Amino acid sequence: MAPFGAYSDKGTNQHHPILIIIMRIIVSVFQTLLLLLILPGLGLGQGQWQNWTSVEDITTARPHLMHSLLNDLDLSRPGLERVHAAQKAGKLEQACTSLLDYYREGNHAGFLIKELPDSSDRRVAAGDTLLENIFEIQNVRGKLPIGSDGHRDWFYKGPNKDREWAWLSNRHTQLNQLLDIYFQTGNPIYVRYIDSFLKDFILKSLPYPSAKGEGSIWRGLEVAARAKVWSRVFYALLASKDFSDATRLLMLHSFSHHAHYNRNFHGGNNWLTMEISALATVATNFPEYKESESWLDYSVNAMVQSMKGQIYPDGVQTELTSHYHNVSLANFELFKDICLRAGKSLPDFYNQTLVDMYDYIARAIRPDGHRILNNDGDRGSDRELLLQAAEKYNQPEWAYLAANGSKGSRPVKGPSYFFPWAGQLISRSGYDAKAHWSFFDLGPWGSGHQHNDKLHLSIAAYGRDLLVDAGRFAYTGAVAEKFRPYARGSEGHNVLLIDGKGQGAGPLLAKEALSTSDYKVTEAYDFAVGSMDSFKGIKGTFTHHRALFYVRGEFWVVVDRLSTDRPRSVQALWHWHPDCKVSVQDGRIQTVNESGNLAVIPVGKMQGTPRLINGQETPELQGWYSPEYNVFGPNTAGSYESKINSDTTLVWVLLPFEKELPEVKTNIMEETAEGVLVKVNVGTQSWDLRIPFYGSKNAAIME
């Protein structure tokens, strides 16, 4: 007699091949339907996945997943003999049990294995919030809903319906926080939540699509982040009885999917660094997968080639966004550490490039320890990062720069620095906490996360931000719908609008470094000049040349040379940090803070009273600031507006002062087709500055 579900084509049916084929199809469909109906209910109903804890539970409920896991492993590796024997014998539960024993008895990823804390009932408020499925993602708090099937809604986009919220919540960094809280308290309730969370996610994320995606679950950055977080969870909780074997096996099954995704569908630039470092993480933490060695080989080649194409010779990442420069650096360095543990060599230039990337952070850091706020980034602090790197790489100058001279050794060169590939001038008066600091951008548009802000200038002095970039606000959701064009546009930067229009796109990458014909850094002053001729929607031709002249320890002079083929309206914007109290006095814009101030003084042809705009929404957005993603509020923008009929030169003196504005007199002594001679009197001191429009050769403080 044929087994149940089988069909014999012997006897009378052997003379009817068409009938045989039809019957086979019917039986196949019947078997499939029966399997779908019965499999989830083999002692464990579909709605009871929450109760799957043991090896027996998961091998009974989801045998196909466990067979797939074993097939992904190289069972010929030493230590996996029992697993291999049980698999060959068809003993799935025994094979999976032996696999977990292999990990518990081994010490492969020993750097991740931790001794469990003593059990307690201590609680932490932040952890208890997470237990309620309440996550704070980029400063927005939301509660993950539970669906009718008992699974969390992994596609939930947060209260603002922002897909970034869904993406970042699916990176599972909240599990890192919970793991830390568990080791702090010893309370197993946090482990049990991590177990439930991961089991829920893995089951709901199936089937793995094996294709590049943009959805909430299967997108490269999320896949990469999870691989790193999960590795830590898997090994840190190997000895925990509160973390179930069922979830451990589901994690091992899913790791290969995560590695496959990052191997085959990774992106470029900083995405690549995150995704490929994640591929190497799985390859080295779980060398048991058949593909682990090839994954690691691919990772090394991809990461080395990406570093060559992604980092300029001056150490700056090509997106020219300080925030993502740090992201790339962190993942390049993580990859180096992975390779060191795996005994995988990297070329010498790899380590030197890491040093160059840190050196950029050190030379660009603000006196208060924060980084440049430019393009799509946040105004975060780099102080601790640099202090740690200074010790790791034996670079005492970095420590000096990060600690305002209280640690390390004074830089041999400085205090100002120019990065010729990035096209960025960092000007300083010194290294103390109250030093003058400015950032002047005359480089390319950038390979990603760009803002239309060439020739933008940011200034800090006396421990306070004064002139600022607007920030990034948000990428998607309600905040982005309202503010994203403003954040990316020229309107949110200290540049010019021409006929009401902002800048267009520029070149993505620098083909060569800027030469000393574009900048000059001396003991007494800094000078740099750049140009922009792409403005959205304007008629005819127009070019904006902007030169910056910083007299060290005294003031900045900005010279805007406007070349036009027709009459234009010009709007010069100066955006102030929200903490600044801003006023207009005698045609100049100045702050009236208790300490730490700046006056923007127009010289010559920019006539009329400037407007101060704060938190404006109509007729267009103006006067808004975002120091972090999803954090924003009004700030003051000063606007000078003028009509020009032909080529025109605008000159500005930007004078920092601590409390009281000193007496200041300025005038243009001479203007030629090549530049201007500007006199600046501050108190009893006087300077005559030769400031060229088009090159650095004639820039000078006249004797």
Structure token pair of residue 38: 């019965």
Distance CA 23, CA 104 (A): 49
Q: What is the model's pLDDT at position 292? A: 97
Distance CA 157, CA 159 (A): 7
Q: DSSP code of 535? A: B
| pTM, 2 dp | 0.88
Tell me the three state secondary structure of residue 200.
Answer: helix
Q: What is the model's pLDDT at position 462? A: 97
Q: What is the model's pLDDT at position 518? A: 96
Going through 490-623 in order, the beta strands assigned E by DSSP cover 496-498, 519-521, 525-532, 542-551, 555-564, 568-575, 582-585, 588-591, 597-603, 611-614
Distance CA 189, CA 119 (A): 10
Region of residue 144 (left: phi > 0; alpha: psi -120 to 50; beta: else): beta
Low-confidence ranges of the chain (pLDDT < 50): 1-17, 19-47
Distance CA 519, CA 692 (A): 11
Q: What is the model's pLDDT at position 607? A: 63
Contact 401, 363 (CB under 8 A): yes
Q: What is the model's pLDDT at position 46? A: 42
- Closest by alpha carbon to 463, among 412, 511, 429? 429
Q: What is the model's pLDDT at position 30? A: 42
- Closest by alpha carbon to 311, among 585, 509, 56, 584? 509
Burial class (CB in 10 A: 0-12, 13-18, 19+), 424: buried
Q: What is the model's pLDDT at position 320? A: 97
Q: At what angle do helices 245-264 and 63-72 cross, to 10 degrees?
A: 60
Structure token pair of residue 640: 């000078």
Distance CA 32, CA 450 (A): 52
Distance CA 188, CA 171 (A): 23
